[in-house]
Amino acid sequence: MKKIALFALLTLLLCTSCVTKKKFMMTEAARMASIDSLQSLLTDCRNTGDQMSAQIKKLLRDTTQMGNSIRQYQSMLSTNMTEQEKLNALLSQKKNELSERERTINELQDMINAQNEKVKQLLSSVKDALLGFSTEELTVREKDGKVYVAMSDKLLFQSGSARLDKRGEEALGKLAEVLNKQTDIDVFIEGHTDNKPINTVQFKDNWDLSVIRATSVVRILIKNYGVNPLQIQPSGRGEYMPVDDNETAEGRSKNRRTEIIMAPKLDKLFQITDFRRGKINII
């Protein structure tokens, strides 16, 4: 009976031992699998961490480069702003100069327009005053802002003489009426001849004749008709400014003339121009 009981107890212990070992082996296998999984996960995390560290280093390098670029751009921007300020100041100066130049041009243009109007009025007045004389005796024209009255030698003088005829004095008297009313004009008296040589007791050549004829006209205007002598300037051109061919009698007749050239005074125009030149360059 005791043997049977002992056998049963041994059998029970063996069975219990087998069950416990089996459970242990299963638990151990599960634990190892968990360790392997955790080890794999740890490896993945480390790899991910290494990758992120590399990215962080790259981002730091990029950030440093970007910071350097930003500082360079800021420096360039600062330099450009300085240059921009200089350009703006220069532009402002040029605008002021342009405005001054435009104002000068407008003033000069106004004066030129006024001068042209004076010439137009002067031309009309001279034509009206000399209306009773033929074109063979004299002609009136406007050129380059001046009024030209060309009186033939037949109207003013006898051949080879500087003494004025009565008809010539009459024409000068009509012209003097205009000059005495318009005292703000300059008057130039020019004597002209043909190319035929002259040599007399009074005149050595055509230069002498042209000069004396011009001064004879000046004397009549001043002494007989009261024209201001400060307005008048005589000169002799001789044969050297012909208006026609000296090879024909008709051409030589046209070349023997006394021209009275009238132009409004330009003193104010020159004063403004000189004044502006002191401030800006007038081209």
- Tell me which H or E stretch contains 244: none
- Return the DSSP state at 232: E
Alpha-helix residue ranges (DSSP H) falling in 130-264: 153-156, 166-181, 206-219, 249-255
What pLDDT is stored for residue 280 in this prediction? 45
pTM beyond cutoff 0.85: no
SS3 per-residue string spanning 175-193: HHHHHHHCCCEEEEEEEEC
Domains of the chain: residue spans and CATH: 115-270 (3.30.1330.60)
Provide block-wise average pLDDT over 10 residues at a time, the chain (283 residues).
Answer: 60 57 73 73 72 78 79 73 78 85 82 84 92 92 93 88 91 95 92 92 91 95 95 94 92 94 74 52 44
Kind of pairing between the strands at 185-192 and 232-238: parallel
Is the four-CA dihedral 209, 215, 218, 220 of positive or negative sign? negative
What pLDDT is stored for residue 282 in this prediction? 43
257-264, strands of its sheet edge to edge: 138-143, 146-152, 257-264, 185-192, 232-238
What pLDDT is stored for residue 111 in this prediction? 79
Q: Look-up: residue for tokens 């300085």? A: 82
